[in-house]
Amino acid sequence: MKIVDIEKWAPLIGRAVISFGYLESITHECIKAWTTPTISKHSQSLNLAKRIDFASDLLAHQSAPEPTKIEFTKDLKRIKQLVEVRNTIAHSPLSLVIFDDTMREAIFHASNSKRTIEFDALERTVIEVEAIIDRLYRNQAAIRFANIELSIPPEWQGLGSE
């Protein structure tokens, strides 16, 4: 007999871990693209919250449409707020927890019960983080595109003008 329904929780926990992995990757990609190789190398050991701050500061100096930069910054700030949730998911067990007079399944943070995560809260967080990832990737591409100078090669001049 199982105390908690692991099969119910596992897909959401997996999606959360994968999603936060994408977020880790995005911060590394931004820092690598927006700095020198030396600075990028030394920033790799920063934790996620510090890399978010660093990427946000670097973003201010990128050429990109202002609405793109604003949305990117807003999403980075929200992710920074969710770092504690990520840490709770990664470092706390799924348990049967006593809440007042009821027992429910939750990811239980042993030293801070306020960081305990119930299933519905985890589900909302995963949906939010996945939406943020989509926006971050879209905006990251827009920032890259804004910094690319495109010109029509001379040999293409006049093509399709018949």
DSSP readout, 12-70?
Answer: HHHHHHHHHHHHHHHHHHHHHHHS-HHHHHHHTTS-HHHHHHHHHHHHTTS-S-HHHHH
Q: Which domain holds residue 37?
A: 13-147
Task: Decide if 156 is inside a domain.
Answer: no
Task: Decide if 31 is inside a domain.
Answer: yes
Beta pairing partners, 117: 107
Has this prediction a pTM greater than 0.75? yes
Query: Which pLDDT does position 161 carry in this prediction?
Result: 60
Q: What value does the mean pLDDT take over residues 96-106?
A: 82
Task: Pick the more confident residue, 124 or 98.
Answer: 124
Name the domain count of the chain. 1
Question: Would you tell me how many other CB atoms lie within 10 Å of the CB of residue 92?
Answer: 18
Among residues 67, 39, 72, 40, the alpha carbon closest in space to that of 56 is found at 72
Lowest-pLDDT range of 5-14, 20-29, 93-102, 114-123: 93-102
Query: Which pLDDT does position 1 carry in this prediction?
Result: 59
* Confidence band of 156 (pLDDT split at 50, 70, 90): confident
Task: Decide if 1 is inside a domain.
Answer: no
Task: Decide if 158 is inside a domain.
Answer: no
Task: Decide if 70 is inside a domain.
Answer: yes
Q: What value does the mean pLDDT take over residues 93-121?
A: 85
Query: Which pLDDT does position 148 carry in this prediction?
Result: 75
- Give the whole-angstrom CA distance, residue 162 versus residue 160: 6
Backbone angles phi, psi at 6, to 5 degrees: -60, -40
Share of residues in the chain with pLDDT > 90 (%): 67
Task: Decide if 82 is inside a domain.
Answer: yes
Task: Pick the more confident residue, 100 or 145.
Answer: 145
Task: Decide if 133 is inside a domain.
Answer: yes
Task: Decide if 2 is inside a domain.
Answer: no
Q: CA-CA distances (angstroms) from residue 157 to 148, 149, 153?
A: 20, 17, 7
